[in-house]
């Protein structure tokens, strides 16, 4: 697969299906694994990184579950290509920088991605639409079992899987969900909810995960500790927490409809009108407007618009995607203009 081919299809996690998909945009399970007797990537020189990359490339080629996947070496990609992969949530910002000795495996439907030589030798990731952590775990567990037969993992009986970051030691697992919480934000309950999440040893981050702030009412919630907990314990704990947050968001949505429907309809319809007519728009403004339109779909205020079409726009209006669509580098003003054009084209004729 060439990088450009990613523009022609949508990742499975963006399909807007699965349990609680109106509030839970996606679920992700990530496993951190390292090779035995090989320095962690942050302590490795070029020779060690290249050797680890070659070993892992050979191993993934033996896994039937990964047949049909594409493997990219970061050194072969330019900055825009690498940023595009970040925008699609297939790899981290850290993996896009310092490309020497790094690789990325991507499955055909973008359900599976494997970062090679990021913070750990392997960061295996599975993403699904809706609240589907158990489903994601089934996929990633099978892949991990297959890889463990091909690669010597760094593992100790009393510690579990050894990782570069101590918080990942143990199962090496991080589960996370992307949630859309506009009603909790509008009713000013979000800070109380996030404070409660933090006290329960969960982390909340922005649309692009660690190191990013929430925008467009999107919050990524994940476990912070892997040591001392089994994988199913972690998944059950996250599922329990997320269902509580889903219930609170649903209650806040109904309260808004009952108490202030005209204000809500006005804000949603104004957002829709701006997206349909704007000629210049930043990515930050676009995401905030998308959030309100998505809210309008969920509340049955906006009809004949589906989550899948809107979810696609979240990705393709990002800077690297716009430049790949245009086939050249664009400055900030050119990107803002192109973004508005792409949004108008995707949303189609004005709807009433």
CATH code for the domain of 87? 3.30.590.10
Question: Is residue 274, in this structure, part of any structural domain at all?
Answer: no
pLDDT grade for 208, boundaries at 50, 70 and 90 = low
Given strand 70-73, what is the order of strands in its sheet? 70-73, 103-106, 112-116, 122-129, 24-33, 173-180, 218-223, 202-205
E strand or H helix at 14, and its extent?
A: none
The total domain count for the chain is 1
* Per-residue confidence (pLDDT) for residue 211, from 0 to 100: 46
**Mean pLDDT on 58-76:** 94
Q: 72 lies in which domain range?
A: 3-249
β-partners of residue 180 are 218
Of 277, 235, 242, nearest to 130 by C-alpha is 242
Question: Is residue 283, in this structure, part of any structural domain at all?
Answer: no
| 98-142 per-position pLDDT tens digit | 899 999 999 988 999 999 999 999 999 999 999 999 999 999 999
* Per-residue confidence (pLDDT) for residue 214, from 0 to 100: 58
Question: Is residue 345, in this structure, part of any structural domain at all?
Answer: no
Residue 332, number of CB atoms within 10 A of its CB = 10
* Per-residue confidence (pLDDT) for residue 271, from 0 to 100: 96
Question: Is residue 186, in this structure, part of any structural domain at all?
Answer: yes
Listed range (48-57, 219-228, 270-279, 315-324) with the worst mean pLDDT:
219-228
| pTM, to two decimals | 0.90
Question: Is residue 22, in this structure, part of any structural domain at all?
Answer: yes
Question: Is residue 260, in this structure, part of any structural domain at all?
Answer: no
Work out the percent of the chain whose per-residue pLDDT is above 90.
76
**Mean pLDDT on 63-87:** 94
Question: Is residue 278, in this structure, part of any structural domain at all?
Answer: no
* End-to-end CA separation in angstroms for the chain: 40
Question: Is residue 17, in this structure, part of any structural domain at all?
Answer: yes
* Per-residue confidence (pLDDT) for residue 226, from 0 to 100: 67
Parallel/antiparallel/unpaired status of strands 70-73 and 122-129: unpaired
């Amino acid at each position: 697969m060439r990088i450009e081919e990613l523009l022609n299809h949508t990742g499975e996690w963006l399909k807007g299906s699965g349990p609680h998909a109106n509030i839970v945009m996606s679920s992700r399970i990530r496993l951190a694994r390292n090779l035995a007797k090989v320095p962690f990537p942050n302590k490795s020189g070029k020779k060690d990184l290249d050797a680890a990359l070659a070993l892992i490339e050979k191993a993934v080629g033996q896994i039937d579950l990964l047949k049909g996947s594409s493997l990219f070496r970061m050194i072969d990609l330019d900055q825009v290509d690498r940023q595009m992969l970040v925008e699609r949530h297939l790899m981290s910002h850290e993996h896009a920088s310092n490309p020497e000795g790094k690789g990325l495996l991507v499955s055909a439907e973008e359900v599976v991605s494997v970062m090679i030589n990021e913070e750990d030798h392997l960061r295996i990731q599975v993403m699904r639409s809706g609240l589907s952590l158990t489903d994601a775990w089934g996929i990633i567990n099978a892949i991990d079992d297959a890889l463990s037969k091909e690669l010597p993992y760094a593992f100790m009986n009393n510690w579990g899987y050894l990782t570069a970051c101590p918080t990942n030691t143990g199962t090496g697992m991080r589960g996370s969900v992307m949630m859309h919480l506009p009603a909790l934000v509008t009713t000013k309950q979000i800070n109380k909810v996030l404070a409660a999440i933090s006290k329960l040893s969960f982390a909340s981050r922005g649309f692009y995960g660690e190191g990013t702030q929430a925008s467009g009412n999107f919050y990524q919630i994940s476990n912070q500790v892997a040591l001392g907990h089994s994988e199913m314990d972690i998944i059950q704990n996250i599922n329990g927490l997320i269902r509580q947050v889903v219930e609170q968001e649903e209650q806040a949505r109904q309260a808004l409809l009952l108490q202030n429907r005209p204000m809500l309809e006005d804000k949603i319809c104004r957002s829709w009108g701006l997206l349909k007519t704007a000629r210049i728009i930043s990515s930050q403004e676009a995401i905030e407007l998308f959030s309100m339109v998505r809210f309008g779909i969920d509340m049955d205020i906006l009809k004949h618009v589906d989550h899948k079409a809107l979810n696609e726009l979240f990705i393709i209006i990002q800077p690297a995607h716009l430049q790949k669509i245009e086939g050249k580098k664009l400055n900030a003003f050119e990107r803002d203009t192109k973004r508005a054009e792409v949004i108008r084209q995707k949303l189609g004729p004005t709807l009433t």
